[in-house]
A and B are shown apart, each in its own frame.
Chain A
């Protein structure tokens, strides 16, 4: 598309402002986590790792991180497998009510978190699970599997529908064709989905807070910090959480984009 030099310049400025608006708070957060002053003011004080040392010495924080990792490691594989199964069913089979099933499968991220949190709490407490790690795991699977399905479906949409049958036509049984054709074709998107599920599980705090009771994940811990006192420790724990999830998300992005560009070439 042809655009005039002025429009182009304005667009660049607008995009720059938007990016600054998005990332400046996170950057400040990171800068103040290394600042020795008690309060986030300019000019900055000296460089320090004190806040990181403090949070890493805090048993509550360590427990929260441990919980987060435990939950993510259980949630990501299960959600990825469920998302994959749903995406594969969509790719391979036609059945009555398929659209409806797809809508329901993809809906959870669109439901307000407070609603899901309340509903999950009501349900899980009825079956005696609320306030436990399994409760958080179940909730996170509900929230993350639609992301896994969306990513893997995107990949399936680029795969020739005849491929699996071509493998069967050459003598591969159902399962063999699946392993020889479907898995190699989708493996990067499966990995991307896995990383994204981990990232979502890592970041999620609203539903976790509802169903977790006394069990905390790192994001819930940040919330608790905020509610009790303003301390640069929040900046430190926030930076750690941010770096972890951005790494996971960028990893997923790179895998998905690599697939897309290769698919288009």
Chain B
């Protein structure tokens, strides 16, 4: 924090960060706000990114994830709050002073330069000597399997090769952070999966921080150490992929990730003293640790994952049951996603094995019983 004065000597009032304890995070966003006129793009955003982690920021379009990345890179000014890197306040550093190279969604490769010159660009801007530039560029071209394309133009490359050039162009400068803005969205599914593996491997080997913005679940969950889910300019949940998958913090997260059924319920204490969850679809038991904290009449969402719900033809077999009509089925390899709807209109998603599905002998329109164990429900406030 003592180097703050070096960064911004002109500022007489110390940034609000000064009074706070030193952060150990590599990058910290504190109370970040971004407004365009009256429109609020990002609000009250707090996030600590640890060094060497692969952080994926995801959310629906317009949730502010790209705005956040652009504020990190200095492409957008923040309207309020502080951005810190290794404890240093970097709010007012220019784009070119931030040293946070970015892989652009459009890739933004220089079309008038060869592959070699594209990769060399950052080093040239930093004033690295010619001989060193040459070896470092060659080194990175080899690492990404581009050595045979050094003297080609950008328009002579395939999509995957361009992707690698964009990566090499950033990584050759040996940054401590790499920003990625939906870099794989232009690739076909097969290539995208291949690049995901490669990105994760690169990040592990280099040990640098990756901040990766995406709208794709599979990209975020397959690569990231930390997944951050944003909605309407706020962070809904940040945690490990497993944490978010097993314990979504808000109904939005559960809905956004899909694959879960959400029951709106109210907590009610029975005469026996037991707490149950009552809603338009019936009364459900739940044994999760969250039950102890509930108050009588509290509004909650009961979340049940698709792989935890069973479907039977007859009722009366399990503790939590609800009758529902089959409205659709999707076959995904050996699995079937069954979409059900209750009389109250709640959508239920069930994942079944293909062979279980055949044993059930059901079709669209059939009414079945969906059931789950009390320990499998997950409760969220609201």
A-side residues, CB < 8 A to B, are: 160, 162-163, 165-174, 176-177, 180-181, 184-185, 265
Contacts and interface: CB of A to CB of B under 8 A. Distances in A.
Contacts of A180: 121, 125
Which of A171, A173, A185 neighbours the largest number of chain B CB atoms within 10 Å of its CB?
Answer: A171
B95 A168 contact: yes
B181 to A, nearest CB: 9
Contacts of A165: 75, 95, 108
A149 B75 CA distance: 27
A181 B109 CA distance: 11
B317 interface: no
Secondary structure at chain B's binding surface: helix, strand, loop or mixed?
A: loop
Contact of A160 (B99, B106, B125, B126): B106
Contacts of B169: 170
A170 B94 contact: no
A162 B110 CA distance: 10
Contacts of B125: 167, 170-172, 176, 180
Given A172-B96, A180-B121, A185-B112, 16 more contacts: A162-B108, A165-B75, A165-B95, A166-B104, A166-B109, A167-B110, A168-B94, A169-B73, A169-B95, A171-B96, A172-B125, A173-B94, A174-B94, A174-B96, A180-B125, A185-B111
Q: Nearest 6 CB-CB pairs, A to B?
A: A171-B125, A166-B108, A170-B122, A162-B108, A168-B95, A172-B125
Interface string B266-278: 0000000000000
B59 interface: no
A171 B108 contact: no
A169 B106 contact: no
A213 B105 CA distance: 58
B102 interface: yes
Interface residues of B, number: 25
B106 A170 contact: no
A173 B173 CA distance: 16
B112 A169 contact: no
B96 A168 contact: yes
Given A170-B125, A170-B169, A171-B125, A162 B106 contact: yes
A180 B112 CA distance: 10
Given A165-B75, A181-B110, A185-B112, A170 B173 contact: yes
B120 to A, nearest CB: 10
B102 A184 contact: no
B101 interface: yes
Contacts of A177: 96
B108 A160 contact: yes
Given A160-B108, A181-B110, A184-B112, A169 B101 contact: yes
B122 A171 contact: yes
B154 to A, nearest CB: 11
Contact of B121 (A160, A162, A167, A265): A167
B296 interface: no
Nearest to B122: A170
A265 B155 contact: yes
A173 B94 CA distance: 8
A169 B74 CA distance: 8
A173 B95 CA distance: 8
A172 to B, nearest CB: 5
B73 A170 contact: no
A173 B127 CA distance: 12
Nearest to B155: A265
Contacts of A163: 108, 110
Contacts of A172: 96, 121, 125
Most buried by A among B73, B96, B99, B112: B96
Given A165-B108, A166-B108, A171 B102 contact: no
B96 A173 contact: yes
Contacts of A162: 104, 106, 108
A165 B107 CA distance: 12
Contacts of B94: 168, 173-174
A155 to B, nearest CB: 12
Contacts of B155: 265
24 contacts: A162-B108, A165-B75, A165-B95, A165-B108, A166-B108, A166-B110, A168-B94, A168-B95, A169-B73, A170-B122, A170-B125, A170-B169, A171-B96, A171-B122, A171-B126, A171-B173, A172-B96, A172-B125, A174-B94, A176-B125, A184-B112, A185-B111, A185-B112, A265-B155
Contacts of B102: 166, 169
B109 to A, nearest CB: 8
A171 B110 contact: no
A253 B109 CA distance: 27
Nearest to B181: A162
Nearest to A158: B111
Nearest to B109: A166
Contacts of A170: 96, 101, 121-122, 125, 169-170, 173
A234 B293 CA distance: 101
A189 B184 CA distance: 33
Contacts of B95: 165, 168-169
A8 B175 CA distance: 61
Contacts of B111: 160, 185
Interface string B46-81: 000000000000000000000000000101000000
A91 B96 CA distance: 20
A110 B258 CA distance: 58
Among B98, B99, B125, find the residue whose CB has the most chain A CB atoms closer than 10 A.
B125
Contacts of B108: 160, 162-163, 165-166
Interface centre among A176, A180, A265, by most B CB within 10 Å?
A180
